[in-house]
Structure 1
Amino acid sequence: MDTFAPDTRHRVALLVRDGALAMETGIVHRIFGEARSADGAPLYSVVTCAVRPGAVRTDADFTFNVDHGPEALAEADTVVVPASDVDYEPRGGPLEGELAEAFARIPSGTRYASVCTGSFVLAAAGLLDGRRATTHWRSAGLLARLYPAVHVEPDVLYTDEGDVLTAAGVAAGIDLCLHMVRQDHGAAVAAEVARRTVVPPHRDGGQAQYIERPVPRPAEGGATAAARAWAEADLARPMRLAAMAERASMSVRTFTRRFREETGESPARWLHRQRLAYARELLERTDLPVDRVAEKAGLGTAASLRAHMKADAGVSPTGYRRTFRGTTPPR
């Protein structure tokens, strides 16, 4: 009589909900499905489940035909919750109804992960309390407001708190899944998965570099509007607070107070933000060398710009330019 070896593959349960984002669901299957041992054997089994088996609406013009219900969660080693379009208007509070019942089936010791706004589900389940977590940068502020016990980090691609992991928007799900493969089976296996999927095994920086931060125009009116417009007109020149206050016909003390009232930040912080935003714009739209970008943005030297970019966006100027222009211009 034939005997069969037990299935020792790591079991991943992908919990999809009404309005599931199709791309994020596919990412999980693709990355874990490509992971192979040295002899070519699959290292993971991935099962898609829903609170009710059957047709599940997606954000695209097709549905998922899901065969498995919440019972699949009881057998999982890792549960992944991708985003859904219902997350765009979350109500906050704890899990309720069928979703709460589904989570109650998950045994202790199971690893949890979310992609994009799937983090709202983990937060509602209480799994993120007192932990670092991320989500899409557009939703980070809302996650922090609805779940103040969560330490939201809006600038990173993913967080790893051991048994609970979260990824930022969409493609960051690839980064997170590769990270989990790397943690489970080593860098060589993860690199091979990345190679087969034609993605980098690791991306520099975080999602801070993807947040759109154009140089804002001065607000209409306001006692400090003329001074702000004057400063923005030539960010390369040295800018003294006294000179800005003089433009507004105020004392430095009054100008600083009014400036904060009108912009929500100090003149120094506001000016620094304008200069960084302009530097990012120059990196995206021109082929100027990094030292010239630094000079034109009023940030001094290339070394200074690199330090500021690293602190602000998590990447070097060259790395930022490579991401958003697809080329590596002269340094």
Structure 2
Amino acid sequence: MHTVAVLALDGVIPFDIATPLEVFGRNRLPDGSPPYRVRVCSPSGEVDAGPMALRAPWGLDALADADTIVIPGVEDPLAEPPGEVLAALRDAAAAGTRIASICVGAFTLAATGLLDGRRATTHWIAAPALADHYPEVDVDPGVLYIDSGQFLTSAGGAAGLDLCLYMLRGDHGSAVAAAAARMAVVPLEREGGQAQFILRDHPPVPRGSVLEPVLRWMADNCGRDLTLDDIAVQARMSARSLNRHFRQQTGTTPLQWLHRVRIREAQHLLETTSYPVDRISAHVGFGSPAAFRERFKRVVGTSPHAYRRAFRQDGAPMAG
């Protein structure tokens, strides 16, 4: 069973520690079995959590046995974490453990040096301090969360819920994650003004999925006029089998998944270039600019022009 270790340090923010316990600890697979074993660990048994005290049943040795480590934020993120904590996190990283931070938990993760040279995020109000204190980290304050592979970081408390659901979906597929989202009464993938902030080329699927090669091919070729038959040929499956595997592994159809990839690529171009919207529409594989605008607004919650006004990066190159 996949073990999730939640690191509780003195000053831990209660909301941040509750989030992974809720997402990973209370949900079940379709057969009723628990997908995760969750352990709260700390350097000492008692943890000061501001208005209350917590008892952590496990010590730092639990980090060595974990498949995933979640680091909640603390009240004073600039306080130097205990050396034994940093050493345990570095050892876990060297062993290949997935490590995620919630909110200002990114400061603890950055203190290990593991985020040096990597893109990371935290609560927007703390982002300047993170960038100043850890200049080797590429801090992006304008995203919900960032998945850089082994290390994941999230913005403020609610974004920690988005990140945990994202990891759950990557581990066990959309159906399990959707059930967890319903229990928490939140959308599985947030739409509207923040949907664009999820920095991933395509929606995740369980590791080792038989679909992984064709999904990567679809992402690389999303600008082409792909049909279901084209995708099925690439996947070496019948169209019927392809649809069945997609439903099981991603919770959607091949063409719906392709449209999401195209919208993600369009978001990137709107943020980083001045290309006309019609040019972006053609580049990402929409034959009709009107169809692109309709699909973009349905997924993101706003028009391409409004999205660009809100999120275009300073210094983005002008269209040539």
TM-score normalized by the length of structure 1: 0.58
Match of 2:62 in 1: 72
Structure 1 residue ranges without an equivalent (≥5): 1-8, 210-301, 313-331
Assess, with a 3 A threshold, how the Cα gap between structure 1 residues 150 and 186 changes in structure 2: closer, same or farther: same
Contact 1:155 1:207 in 2 (8 A): no
CA distance in 2, matches of 1:21, 1:32: 18
Match of 1:230 in 2: none
| Residues 31-40 or 161-170, more deviating | 31-40
* SS of equivalent residue, structure 2 residue 157: coil
TM-score normalized by the length of structure 2: 0.60
Q: Looking at CA atoms only, which structure, 1 or 2, has the larger radius of gyration?
A: 1
Aligned letter for 1:203? R
Q: How far is the alpha carbon of 1:35 from its aligned partner?
A: 3.0
**C-alpha distance after superposition, 1:191-246 (max 9, x if no partner):** 1100011111111343999xxxxxxxxxxxxxxxxxxxxxxxxxxxxxxxxxxxxx
Match of 1:206 in 2: 194
CA distance in 2, matches of 1:156, 1:71: 32
Match of 1:143 in 2: 130
CA distance in 2, matches of 1:43, 1:32: 8
Structure 2 residue 161 is matched with structure 1 residue 160 = no
Match of 2:33 in 1: 41
Match of 1:23 in 2: 15
Contact 1:34 1:196 in 2 (8 A): no
CA distance in 2, matches of 1:43, 1:164: 21
Structure 2 residue 83 is matched with structure 1 residue 97 = yes
For residues 180-199 of structure 1, what are the structure 2 equivalents within 5 Å?
180-199=167-186
Q: How far is the alpha carbon of 1:96 from its aligned partner?
A: 5.0
CA distance in 2, matches of 1:104, 1:147: 17
CA distance in 1, matches of 2:176, 2:152: 20
Contact 1:155 1:208 in 2 (8 A): no
Contact 2:90 2:114 in 1 (8 A): no
Assess, with a 3 A threshold, how the Cα gap between structure 1 residues 207 and 194 changes in structure 2: closer, same or farther: closer
Assess, with a 3 A threshold, how the Cα gap between structure 1 residues 181 and 208 changes in structure 2: closer, same or farther: closer
CA distance in 2, matches of 1:67, 1:304: 52
Match of 2:52 in 1: 62
Assess, with a 3 A threshold, how the Cα gap between structure 1 residues 22 and 192 changes in structure 2: closer, same or farther: same
Contact 2:144 2:154 in 1 (8 A): yes
CA distance in 2, matches of 1:63, 1:207: 36
Contact 1:154 1:208 in 2 (8 A): no
Contact 1:134 1:168 in 2 (8 A): yes
Aligned letter for 1:147? Y
CA distance in 1, matches of 2:120, 2:179: 27
**C-alpha distance after superposition, 1:86-129 (max 9, x if no partner):** 21x446xxx65332343355251100000011101111111111
For residues 115-130 of structure 1, what are the structure 2 equivalents within 5 Å?
115-130=102-117
Identity of aligned residues (%): 44
**C-alpha distance after superposition, 1:26-47 (max 9, x if no partner):** 1110011233222111101110
Match of 2:2 in 1: 10
CA distance in 2, matches of 1:148, 1:69: 31
CA distance in 2, matches of 1:207, 1:82: 23
CA distance in 2, matches of 1:159, 1:139: 16
Aligned letter for 1:10? H
Contact 1:154 1:207 in 2 (8 A): no
CA distance in 2, matches of 1:105, 1:52: 19
Q: How far is the alpha carbon of 1:154 from its aligned partner?
A: 0.3
Aligned letter for 2:31? D
Q: How many residues align?
A: 206
Aligned letter for 2:56? V
CA distance in 1, matches of 2:13, 2:195: 19
Contact 2:86 2:111 in 1 (8 A): no
Backbone CA RMSD of aligned residues = 2.2
**C-alpha distance after superposition, 1:226-274 (max 9, x if no partner):** xxxxxxxxxxxxxxxxxxxxxxxxxxxxxxxxxxxxxxxxxxxxxxxxx
Assess, with a 3 A threshold, how the Cα gap between structure 1 residues 207 and 24 changes in structure 2: closer, same or farther: farther
Match of 1:309 in 2: 310
Q: How far is the alpha carbon of 1:67 from its aligned partner?
A: 1.6
Aligned letter for 1:73? L
CA distance in 2, matches of 1:144, 1:78: 25
* SS of equivalent residue, structure 1 residue 85: coil
Aligned letter for 1:78? T
CA distance in 2, matches of 1:188, 1:16: 30
